[in-house]
Amino acid sequence: MRTETPPVVRLADYRPSDYLIDRVELDVRLHPTETRVTATLALRPNPAGIPGAPLVLDGDDLVLLAISLDGGETAPGAVAVTPRALTLHQPPQRPFVLAIETKLDPTANTKLMGLYRSNGVYCTQCEADGFRRITYFLDRPDVLAVYTTRIEADRDEAPVLLGNGNPVESGSAGGNRHYAVWHDPHPKPAYLFALVGGRLGRVASRFTTMEGREVEIAVWVEPGKEGRAGYALDAVARSMAWDERAFGRAYDLDVFNVVAVSDFNMGAMENKGLNIFNDKYVLASPDTATDADYANIEAIIAHEYFHNWSGNRVTCRDWFQLCLKEGLTVFRDQEFSSDERSRPVHRIAEVRTLRARQFPEDAGPLAHPVRPQAYREINNFYTATVYEKGAEIVRMLRTLLGAEVFRRGMDRYFAACDGTAATVEDFLAAFTAESGRDLADFARWYAQAGTPTVAVEARHDGNAATYTLTFRQSLPAIATEATGGARPLPLVIPVALGLVAADGAAVEVRSDRVRDGVFVLDREEDSLVLAGLTTAPVPSLFRGFSAPVKVVQDLGDADRLVLLARDADPFNRWQAAQSLAMAVLTGRAAGRETGASGAALAGALAAFLEAGALADPAFAALVLALPSETEIAQEIGRDVDPDAIRAAREGLRAEIGTALAPRLDALRAALAEPAGTPFSPDAASAGRRALRNAALDLLAAADPARGAALAAAQVEEASNMTDRVAALAVLVPLTGETRERGFARFGAAYRDEPLVLDKWFALQATIPEPGTPERLRGLMRHEAFSLANPNRVRSLLGSFSLNNPTQFHRPDGAGYDLVAEVVLALDGTNPQVAARLLTAFGTWRMVEAGRRRQAERVLRSIAARPGLSPDVSDIAARSLG
Ligand code: PHE
Ligand code: ZN
């Protein structure tokens, strides 16, 4: 029997609900295996719906215990109930009240959707459609209700009881039971509902909003871990202050709670007033967290907090509009991190993520528009495209309109749509109203999938003293269910640009088609003629990565070296180094020797370090980093041989390390912290650590034996987790006793720290050796590993499939087999995590024919499995489609 793919849901079929729910009273009596929920729903017919239509409430795995209508019994035959739906055939055509009692088992809930237990703590996850696993409901984002929640539990088991909104009342419920009542005055869709009950420790502070509201902020963690919650708590306060400054948005409840749980399918969730987090994005101490962890915590705390306006006060009409809250909120958290840290460094990090994750997605069978036209399983659309490319669209909008008009547009959007479930059209309408600009063509960014390519040709005319840049955009034609398959139309592409003279001086850009340094390419081909240029300048295009496109530009090495050394735009300085390296790497991977260019790159990096790397160490560390194997594969695009890519990259790394060795040693010495310096996670300190570790990495490539000794010593002696993990990462490719000892000692030292062991799992998963799949099978039997915990699965198998291309894409298929095995083992218990893992196969069409056959064999065997979850069958079917 073949699994049926789930039915398709289309944007074009959207219809308002036939009924609305104004108020919800929930009474939840927590019990490990028999929790009882009574939902009292104040319903009424929707004036925009079909009069007299049956009321169909969503359910998932529910057991109905009782139902009443307006306080009385329902007539025989009036109600039909299955685990997936409750239908009232002839609902009253006036306001009415339904009371529904259901029974659930939080302990048996391994999907981590709905109400479940994590390390004994009761918690909920309702986005996108988990509320229907708690009670029968109109579980759709355009049904907004005011919730009052009474939570009752055993005092010992759950002394802390948290809900959405503000606390109203608490007390004894008889015997050993107690209760708390929470009321959320802001109407919200069910996906923002949450409750928590458990033994939790707390750190807290206060924040006074610009409106004068006194807010109590608390971060709740496993008792004993309070000492690791301070950074997250501080990040909440900084996020509140920033959203007031940058967007004029104030918090709107008296309490703001953040709870960390250890079993969580995603990063975190923006439930109203009660954000629930994967503990990985809350807990941090110098001994357990890296600089990257601190940066992620800050960014995700900000992200979830910012959702309070972009997501909660203004929510989505339907799930096709997911980017309306996610793309916008990623843009907002990126801006926050840029303001709190270094803007250029953060921008480079954003672009690296986009290129490493979103570009491959957009180039493979899972490609979809930022606003898909159809889906079968919405949980599979929380993607890099919706989040990261969605953020790039908002960024382009700001570039096109200018910061001031953009801000006014945002104000108008929040004012116009507050308290409603909105669409991308509503969002764009606010900017059209504020700017007077027609954004209909710009809106194509939301509808068309695939990464555009912009080819640029430059021509200098010495006699006329003109310099002409001709831009040509080409768009991949992608036809899938999610894309709708229409022929792509030209996009509106902001090209931020500048000109640099050969000696590095800035050259004035003279054209009335360039405003505030931005040229807008809005047709297939266009030429920009710049006057007053007797000598040819070096063009610096797409400054700050002004559009999510691939740029094909025939720029010589000499010009790139000018940009690397002199461009006023730091992003393009970094990009110049990347482009130089990429040319060498793709050439060598294809068997073309580009020895001269390799030496030129090494020379340029030497000059770059000479010119003062210590002025901005974080930036210097990024310049020294070569494009990843994934990025190189992406650039090559087809018939990719991961082994050839790795060989080329390792060769170049060794070459650069050798050429720079004395300078790298000097840098390491200059950046060494005096013993006893207290750890600080701030961006400047993190930057120094990053550069020092980038130097170690290159030194190890040049001289593996010395590198192994240096790294092993650093693993032992480091005074913080950043340096310790960086050194462990250096050991990864250095086969031998030293590496094994380093990993063994690290594993023993942190045996009781799951979040630290995740780093240990993740690094071992990237060992580029044939023995790695067997090693991972062994690690899956490690006492700290569990398939039930998503973080463990991601660190071991996710890391393997995404960050170990030579072994995942092994010619013998053993890498694919391992991941497939885990996907199938997980599918029965946690289909969301299983499906996410399977998306690693999304690049299979890019690899060379032998590997492609292996990948296809494995994908087909998964797709043919009977009884697959909708999540996994959707990814398998689309990957093969
Ligand atoms: N809405 C969450 C965020 O981006 C992500 C999420 C989706 C979490 C679905 C859980 C389930 O902030
Ligand atoms: Zn989000």
> Residue 39's beta-bridge partner residues?
26, 100
Say what angle helices 230-247 and 322-340 make with each other, to 10 degrees. 100
Q: Which of 112, 113, 127 to mutate to test the pocket of ligand 1 (most atoms within 8 A of CB)?
A: 127
Nearest residue to 726 via CA among 783, 768, 688: 688
User: For residue 245, what is the enclosing H or E element?
Assistant: helix 230-247
Model confidence at 1, pLDDT cuts 50, 70, 90, reads very low
pLDDT digits (tens, 9 = 90+) for 664-713: 999 999 999 999 999 999 999 999 999 999 999 999 999 999 999 999 99
Ligand 1 centre and the CA of 128: distance in Å? 8
Task: State residue 458 phi and psi, 5-degree precision.
Answer: -115, 140
User: Which residues touch 175 (CB under 8 Å, ≥6 apart)?
Assistant: none
pLDDT at 749: 98
pLDDT at 483: 79
pLDDT digits (tens, 9 = 90+) for 9-35: 999 999 999 999 999 999 999 999 999
pLDDT digits (tens, 9 = 90+) for 607-656: 999 999 999 999 999 999 999 999 999 999 999 999 999 999 999 999 99
Which atom of ligand 1 sits closest to the CA of residue 307? 12
Nearest residue to 210 via CA among 254, 250, 255, 253: 250
CA torsion, ordered 707, 709, 712, 714, to nearest 10 deg: -80
Answer yes or no: is pLDDT of 2 > 80.
Answer: no
Tell how many helices (H) and how many strands (E) occur in the chain.
Answer: 29, 32
How large is the average pLDDT for residues 805-812? 98
Ligand 1 centre and the CA of 363: distance in Å? 24
Q: Which of 304, 335, 388, 629 is catalytic?
A: 304
CB atoms within 5 A of ion ligand 2 belong to: 326, 329
pLDDT digits (tens, 9 = 90+) for 351-399: 999 999 999 999 999 999 999 999 999 999 999 999 999 999 999 999 9
Answer yes or no: is pLDDT of 3 > 70.
Answer: no
Which atom of ligand 1 sits closest to the CA of residue 304? 12
Model confidence at 816, pLDDT cuts 50, 70, 90, reads very high
Nearest CA to ligand 1 atom 8: 269
Nearest residue to 865 via CA among 818, 827, 839: 827
Q: Which of 133, 192, 239, 270 to mutate to test the pocket of ligand 1 (most atoms within 8 A of CB)?
A: 270
pLDDT at 4: 56
Alpha helices in 520-641 (DSSP H): 557-566, 570-589, 595-610, 617-624, 629-636
Model confidence at 484, pLDDT cuts 50, 70, 90, reads confident
Nearest CA to ligand 1 atom 5: 269
Q: Are 471 and 513 in contact (CB under 8 A)?
A: no
pLDDT digits (tens, 9 = 90+) for 713-732: 999 999 999 999 999 999 99
Percent of the chain with pLDDT over 90: 97
- Could you say which ligand is closest to the alpha carbon of residue 267? 1
Answer yes or no: is pLDDT of 5 > 70.
Answer: no
Amino acid type, 431? F
Catalytic residue check, 753? no
Mapped to the 3 state alphabet, what secondary structure does 162-195 carry?
EECCEEEEEEECCCCEEEEEEEEEEEECHHHCCE
Model confidence at 481, pLDDT cuts 50, 70, 90, reads confident
Amino acid type, 232? A
CA 568 → CA 539, 563, 610, distances in Å?
Answer: 12, 8, 18
pLDDT at 479: 84
Ligand 2 centre and the CA of 142: distance in Å? 18
Percent of the chain with pLDDT over 70: 99
Answer yes or no: is pLDDT of 145 > 80.
Answer: yes
- Could you say which ligand is closest to the alpha carbon of residue 275? 1
Q: Ligand 1: residues within 6 Å at CB?
A: 125, 127-128, 265-266, 268-270, 303-304, 307, 326, 382
Ligand 2 centre and the CA of 569: distance in Å? 30
Answer yes or no: is pLDDT of 770 > 90.
Answer: yes
Which atom of ligand 1 sits closest to the CA of residue 270? 12
- Name the pTM for this structure: 0.98
Q: Which of 382, 383, 836 to mutate to test the pocket of ligand 1 (most atoms within 8 A of CB)?
A: 382
Q: Sheet holding 195-198: strands in order across?
A: 114-118, 121-125, 195-198, 160-163
Ligand 2 centre and the CA of 307: distance in Å? 7
Average pLDDT, the chain: 97
Q: Tell me how far apart the alpha carbons of residues 529 and 511 are, in angstroms, rounded to a whole number.
A: 7
How large is the average pLDDT for residues 297-318? 99
3-state secondary structure of 143: coil
Point out the least confidently predicted range of 1-10, 88-97, 286-295, 504-513. Answer: 1-10
Strand extents, DSSP E, 483-580: 493-500, 506-507, 514-515, 518-521, 525-530, 538-541, 550-553
Which atom of ligand 1 sits closest to the CA of residue 128? 9
Q: Which two tokens stand for residue 89?
A: 């055939």
User: Which residues touch 386 (CB under 8 Å, ≥6 apart)?
Assistant: 322, 323, 326, 327, 370
pLDDT at 486: 78
Nearest CA to ligand 1 atom 7: 127
3-state secondary structure of 459: strand
Q: Are 114 and 131 in contact (CB under 8 A)?
A: yes
pLDDT at 473: 98
Ligand 1 centre and the CA of 164: distance in Å? 16
